[in-house]
Amino acid sequence: MCGRYNFIWDKQIAEMIRLKDLVWGIDPDYELPDGEVFPGQRLPVLVPGGNRAKVALEKWGIKMDGRNSLLINARSETAAERPTFRPLWLNSRCVIPASGFYEFDDKNRKYLFTPQNAGMLYMAGMLAPSGFVIMTGDADETVAPVHHRMPILLTSGKVVSYLNGLYPADSMFENNVMLNLNVCA
């Protein structure tokens, strides 16, 4: 589930222009991603900043002792209870801006899901000292024919509330945000 996502800088989307300016404000030498992004890359994420979100550049994936691969996703249903994620859920949330996300079907065919309004997607995440993970949940009716899981999506109006921990763990993700998504094989 969500082993890759898409980030395309679009000069027509005000949210992207603002994000790009904020990223360059913290690291003017940062090379902005443009297209498919992969675990292990250093990417822009939104982090708590009081009554607004701040931007940070963090690596996608958490290195766990005894594992060769990065942990890149966390199940939303168990994040509040799992020893690995409980402290992050309570104290270190992040939001991952994206242009779209990829899912692979059982034949390993890749599908790109993007918002119909050509805006940005906001995926719920958690931030550890070594990197971030994307929260996942059950797929909605658009994604379910391809894969049974998908990222937890937030509307832009819920980003700051999520970052500041204003949602209880047991009710935050009962219903994934129903966005109108386009799918492209």
Class of domain 5-184 as given by CATH: alpha beta
The answer to whether residue 132 scores a pLDDT higher than 50 is yes
Torsion of CA 32, 116, 176, 19, to 10 degrees: 30
Q: What is the mean pLDDT of residues 75-91?
A: 90
Between 85 and 168, the more confident residue is 85
Mean pLDDT of the chain: 86
Domain spans of the chain? 5-184
pTM: 0.90
Per-residue pLDDT of 139-174, as tens digits, reads 888 899 999 999 998 888 888 988 988 765 444 454
